[in-house]
Amino acid sequence: MKRTVRHLADGREIIYFDQPGAPERLAEDTRDLDPVAAASEIRRDPLTGEWVAMAAHRQTRTYKPPADLCPLCPSKPGKPSEIPEADYDVVVFENRFPSFAQNVLGAAEGSTVDGAGLVPVAPGRGRCEVVCFTSDHDGSFASLTTRQVRAVVDTWADRTTALSGLPGVEQVFPFENRGEEIGVTLHHPHGQIYGYPFVTPRTARMIEVARAYQAEHGRPVLGDVLAAERDSGARIVTAGEHWTAFVPPAARWPVQVQLVPHRQVPDIPALTEAERDDFAVVYLDVLRRCDALFGRPLPYIAAWHQAPVRRDRELSWLHLEVFSVLRAKDKLKYLAGSESGMAVWVNDSTPEQIAQRLRDAG
């Protein structure tokens, strides 16, 4: 894939990922932009031990602009956007309103809130990038071709490697938010990549469980789950030569699918060419079933679970999780008292019912 690095008017990096033979990317950003000033910090909750990011500067980020002023569409005469070119395949650029950044204005290392020693504070040092999957404003990930999806996978791999090498980044998280019900404020098909300055609570917990299971059984827990799901078939949605998509046996969400490679790898860069090709086919099948489920575009979050950058990589097993808050065509699952207050989930459907509906939707 052809990779071209340029810079926007405020100095942020923009990277074009094109098919071989694509024209040179030479367009300049003509906007008059002030430099990005990210004032992020992280604070560790003294009761849970979890880090929380504070990024008050994000209050001014772009919110539901009209389609003709979409900042993720290619630039047009008189309407410059975040992408200076008149067209593109896949493009990545630094978020103008980042939760984490390399040159962050935050608390000094080793500080605590109010100097009391209870709540450690540190700069929110990391990186946040936007990934535009296509120049087609009215498209979706599900409407991409397998070739386009493969280009996105290669882009995720490139950015995972790049962000993993940045100072202070401990985990790289590619994800997509889709639909207003999820909280999306820009409708152009896009995702994001976060380079966190810590290992996230979800990943830390999964590694803890994986370590205990490996010590007791001598095998990876997700490997045994995958084998059990393939043997049962009750919760499988679709499968390919290298990937299986299934509803997890303890699904929390009204629609939830895990896509798991048959080979244990820590992250996207570790996938082979054949595994990347097969993922494109399986993932498109899953997304198109999801959109057919209620006869409308499904709002969802697609979250990549990758190994931490510097530890426990041998315990991790890459997988993608797709889930939705939509429990019927016009009904949402709200995270109320039990889920939000105690993190105890109650699902209105069984995993077997969810899987059957998705199979039928295909």
Orientation of helix 273-293 relative to helix 146-164, angle to 10°: 120
**Is the separation of the CB atoms in 101 and 126 below 8 Å?**
yes
- In the beta sheet, which residues pair with residue 324? 255
Q: Find tokens 């490996």 and name the residue.
A: 214
Give me the catalytic one of 190, 242, 305, 319: 190
CA distances from 274 to 80, 111, 240, 277 (A): 39, 48, 11, 5
- In the beta sheet, which residues pair with residue 196? 171
Strand ranges, E, within 155-222 = 171-178, 190-196
Cα Rg of the chain (Å, integer): 21
Eight-class DSSP state of 191: E
- State the SS3 of 260-329: EECCCCCCHHHCCHHHHHHHHHHHHHHHHHHHHHCCCCCCEEEEEECCCCCCCHHHCCCEEEEEECEEEC
**Cα three-residue angle 53-57-61, rounded to 5 degrees:** 110
CA distances from 49 to 40, 44, 114, 199 (A): 19, 6, 18, 12
- Kindly state the tokens that stand for 304: 């990549």
Helix (H) or strand (E) holding 149: helix 146-164
**Catalytic status, residue 190:** yes
Stated length of the chain: 362
* Active centre residues (catalytic): 190
